[in-house]
Amino acid sequence: MSDPLLFTPGPLTTSAKVKAAMQRDVGSRDSEFIGIVAEIRSELLRIGGVSKEAGYEAVPMQGSGTFAIEAVLSSVIPPDGRLLVLANGAYGERIRQIAERLKIAVSINRWPEDESPNVVTVWRLLRQQPRPTHVAIVHLETTTGILNPIDEIGAVVREHGCRFIVDAMSSFGGVALDLAALPVDYLVSSANKCLEGVPGFSFVITRRGALQESAGWARSVSLDLLAQFEALESNGQFRFTPPTHALLAFAQALAELREEGGVPARAERFRRNREALLPGMRQLGFREYLKPECQSDIITSFRFPEDAAFEFAKFYRRLAERGFVIYPGKVSHADCFRIGTIGRLSVGDVNGLIAAIERVLTEMNVQRVS
Ligand SMILES: Cc1ncc(COP(=O)(O)O)c(C=O)c1O
C-alpha cells in the first residue's frame, strides 16, 4: 500500500527523491558531509534573501522546531532581559511557556485567535515600564493559519531598540520573505515544513551581531546557539551527533525548491492548492474559521458542520483509510479541523481529497448546508 497524502502542517508529504536521499550512510565528520552542511547553511541564507557578507548566519540545530525556539530563548536573552510575547494562538503560548520554564522575565499580550496583534497596541506596550528587551511573535500561527504582519510590528520593535524573535516555522520557504528588509534578529524554522524536508532538525537565521552579543548568556549546553554557531564556523561540524540522513534529505529538498523556481513558485503552488480547496469545501457545506483577508495559503481551519451526525474522529479515520490524512483543530474556543496545503501536493491531490470528503460525508449521513 502506498503512503497516504498528508494534508497537514508537517511532517508532510515529501518527494520520492527526498526519501531516497536518505538511503546512504555518511560520516558526520567526513569532508563530504561537512560540505553538504556548509551548502545548506548558505542556501538557507539565500532563501531568506540575506548573506554572510551582509552579516547574517544560518545555524542548524538538532531536534524539531520547538528545540530551535528554545535554543533562541535560552541563549540570546540576557539574565536581566525581559521578553514580550505577542500571541494569537497555541505557538505564541508555547513561547511564553518556554520562557517561564527558563525563568526569563516574560509578559504575554494575547489577541483573539482570529485577529493579528495590532501595531498601535504593540507600540503602547513597548513604552510600558519595565521595558522589554526582546519581542517574540509567530509569523504564521498554525493554530488557525493566520498570517501576522511582522513587517509593521518589526518596525515598531526596532524603533524601541528591542531584539525581534520570529517563529516562522510554517511560513519560511512558502511565503515570500525578504529578511534584508525586515527588522528580524532571530528567525526560526524547521526542515519539515514549507521546505519539504523530513523531520530531524530546525534552524535559526540570525544577524551575526545579535548572536555574538549573547556570549555567556546560554542557560543550556545542548541548546547553546552561539556555541553551535562557533563549532560550525571552526570546523564545519555539529557539536553533537547531527541527523545525517535528515540533512541529506534536506539537501535534495533544497535542490527541488530551486528546480521549482524558488520561494515565489512554491508559494504559487500552495496558493493554487488552497484556491482549489476552498470552493470544494464550501460546496460541501464547510465554512472557514478565519476571515479571508488574514488567511494564509499554508493551512486552513474549517468549522465542524452543525449536523450532529458529524463526528471528527470518524471523519478523520475514514479519510485516512482512503489515503488522506488531515489535521485536528487547535482553536481554543471553536470546533475546527485543519487542512494543510503544503508539501509535495498538487491541485489534483486536493481534488482527490475533496472527492473523498464528499464520499465520507455521504457515508456518515451528514447534511450539507450550502
Ligand atoms: C508556528 C509553529 N511554531 C512551532 C512549532 C513547533 O514545531 P515542532 O512541532 O517541530 O517542534 C510548530 C509546529 O507545527 C508551528 O507550526
Q: What are the sequence ranges of the domains in the chain?
A: 5-9+262-364, 17-258
d(C-alpha 158, C-alpha 229), whole Å = 24
Measured from CB, residues less than 6 Å from any atom of ligand 1 are 9, 64-66, 91, 138, 142, 167, 169-170, 190
Which atom number of ligand 1 is nearest to the Cα of residue 171?
1
d(C-alpha 73, C-alpha 102), whole Å = 8
The answer to whether domain 5-9+262-364 has CATH 3.40.1190.20 is: no
Which atom number of ligand 1 is nearest to the Cα of residue 89?
1
- Cα(161) to ligand 1 centroid in Å equals 27
Mean of pLDDT values over 344-369? 95
- Cα(358) to ligand 1 centroid in Å equals 30
Q: Judging by DSSP bridges, how do beta strands 140-141 and 146-147 pair with one another?
A: antiparallel
d(C-alpha 254, C-alpha 249), whole Å = 9
Grid cell locating 3:
503512503
pLDDT of 240 above 90: yes
Domain 17-258, architecture per CATH: 3-Layer(aba) Sandwich (3.40)
Cα 75-65-79 angle, rounded to 5 deg: 15
Question: What is the three-class DSSP state of 367?
Answer: coil
> What does the mean pLDDT of the chain come to?
97
- Cα(196) to ligand 1 centroid in Å equals 14
d(C-alpha 266, C-alpha 327), whole Å = 22
Whose CA is closest to atom 12 on ligand 1? 169
- Cα(331) to ligand 1 centroid in Å equals 15
> What tens digit of pLDDT does each residue of 169-212 get?
999 999 999 999 999 999 999 999 999 999 999 999 999 999 99
Mean of pLDDT values over 316-339? 96
* Bond preceding residue 130 cis, omega within 30 of 0: yes
Query: How confident is residue 1, by pLDDT bands cut at 50, 70 and 90?
Result: low
Mean of pLDDT values over 323-340? 95
d(C-alpha 281, C-alpha 219), whole Å = 47
- Cα(65) to ligand 1 centroid in Å equals 5
Own/partner contacts of 18-21, CB < 8 Å, gap of 24 or more, are: 18/196, 18/197, 18/198, 18/249, 18/252, 18/253, 18/256, 19/198, 19/249, 20/252, 21/248, 21/249, 21/251, 21/252
pLDDT of 107 above 80: yes
Counting residues of the chain whose pLDDT is more than 70, the rounded percentage is: 99
Which atom number of ligand 1 is nearest to the Cα of residue 190?
10
Which atom number of ligand 1 is nearest to the Cα of residue 140?
1
- Cα(169) to ligand 1 centroid in Å equals 6
> What tens digit of pLDDT does each residue of 243-259 get?
999 999 999 999 999 99
Q: Do domains 5-9+262-364 and 17-258 have the same CATH topology?
A: no
Q: Out of 69-78, 303-312, 361-370, pick the least confident.
A: 361-370
Q: Would you state the pLDDT for residue 367? A: 85
Structural contact between residues 260 and 333, judged by C-beta atoms closer than 8 angstroms: no
Q: Which residue has the higher pLDDT, 370 or 185?
A: 185
> What tens digit of pLDDT does each residue of 10-64 get?
899 999 999 999 999 999 999 999 999 999 999 999 999 999 999 999 999 999 9
- Cα(308) to ligand 1 centroid in Å equals 32
d(C-alpha 164, C-alpha 183), whole Å = 7
Query: How confident is residue 77, by pLDDT bands cut at 50, 70 and 90?
Result: very high
CB atoms within 10 A of CB 369: 11
pLDDT of 368 above 80: no
Angle between helices 65-76 and 225-235 (to 10 degrees): 100
Q: Using most ligand atoms within 8 A of CB, pick from 91, 148, 204, 298 the residue to mutate for ligand 1.
A: 91
pLDDT of 241 above 80: yes
Q: Would you state the pLDDT for residue 330? A: 87
Mean of pLDDT values over 322-327? 98
Query: How confident is residue 357, by pLDDT bands cut at 50, 70 and 90?
Result: very high
